[in-house]
Amino acid sequence: MHSIDELGTVEGIGKVTIAKLRALGLEHVEDVVLFNPEELEELAGIDFERALRIVRAARRIVGWETKAYSGREYASVLRQRDVLTTGVSSVDSLLNGGLAVYDIYEFAGEFGTGKTQLCHQLAVTSQLPPSHGGLGAGAVYIDTEGTFSPERVEAIGKRFEVDDPLSNIYVVRPLSVDELEEFVVRGLPRVLKSGARAVVLDSVIALYRAQFRGREWLAMRQQRINYMLDWLKRLSRLYGLVTVITNQVVSVPSAWGVAVKLPAGGNIIAHASTHRFLLKKAGENFLIEVLDSPRLPRGASAEFTIAEDGLHDAR
């Protein structure tokens, strides 16, 4: 990490400006690269030209500048990304090995289809060493519905031989949209510096659906969801995160008169998510199906079952 004071060596950025940035809780240059000049202008009370100079200088210092890759180089970058196991071989196979860093994975489904249980399991498997499919790091669990279960985490941890898994999971329970967004923008970067590399948001839509009621609020709701998800993308790129969001479903009438279940949130969440999956019951087991993905075949699926110690391959 580079101290925020390093920006003081750039022409036009003095001690007063550094103090304003520090007052926002920005202690490192890496914190600054997450912001747009317009955001710094508003939050720090500085003019746009100075904010632009700060953001560009920050990117140069940390080496985060836009680079053009050849297609072959970019393919190599994708192959070398860290991947997180789900702990279920059939699901890992569906995901081409697991959940890759930098991407956003959306898991939608009705109540009781395994979304939260999957989140608990990922919060544990992230703590496994890379040699066992983990990230060797903690997880941040943003619980908007009050469903986080310490007992379930400990049972899953025992299964995967992770000692004291709760100590490496940072749980946040926002009660409003404003709390959620403030944590993602201001609080989450501080937690990630403690070593967490998996972020779980369970669920992405619950607070927005409850607190932005009526069609007159729809445009505002969608704008705020988009901004929050954009920040998760920024943090994912900087810290190399696996990002998982769960989503509720809505019934949408089809052309042939039968209602189908689709993820809530409309195009905003659809465009923000790299990979989208639908979870549903399949007899005694559960099914995970690819809804949309740039690298996974649409409609491909895998079955799993749920026990007291987490998700397993279907019997």
Structure tokens at 76: 């190599």
DSSP per-residue string spanning 1-39: --BGGGGGGSTT--HHHHHHHHHTT--BHHHHTTS-HHH
Residue 216: per-residue pLDDT = 84
Q: What is the mean pLDDT of the chain?
A: 94
How far apart are the C-alpha atoms of 76 and 123, rounded to whole Å?
Answer: 28
Domains of the chain: 4-62 (1.10.150), 81-313 (3.40.50.300)
Q: For residue 214, is pLDDT > 90?
A: no
Reported confidence tier of residue 159, pLDDT bands at 50, 70, 90: very high
> How much is the average pLDDT of 281-302?
96
Please give the radius of gyration of the chain, using alpha carbons only, rounded to the nearest integer. 21
Global pTM value: 0.94
pLDDT at 194 > cutoff 80: yes
- Range with the poorest average pLDDT among 29-33, 128-132, 258-262: 258-262
Given this model, what pLDDT does residue 261 score? 85
Check whether 306 has a pLDDT greater than 70.
Answer: yes
Q: What is the pLDDT of residues 61-112, one digit of tens each?
A: 999 878 899 999 999 999 999 999 999 999 999 999 999 999 999 999 999 9
Instruction: Quote the CA–CA distance of 89 and 314 in Å, as a whole number.
Output: 10
pLDDT above 90: percentage of residues in the chain: 87
Mean pLDDT of 290-314: 96
Strand partners, 247: 108
The reported pLDDT for the residue numbered 256 is 67
Please report the pLDDT score of residue 257 as a whole number: 66
Q: Report the pLDDT averaged over residues 296-308.
A: 97
How confident is the model over 225-276, as pLDDT tens digits? 999 999 999 999 999 999 999 999 998 876 666 778 889 998 999 999 999 9
Q: Over pLDDT 70: what percentage of the chain?
A: 99
Q: Tokens 């993308």 correspond to what residue?
A: 233
Lookup: tokens for 229 = 């998800």
pLDDT at 213 over 90: no
Residues 6+ apart with CB under 8 A from 130: 82, 136
Q: 243 and 236 in contact (C-beta within 8 Å)?
A: yes
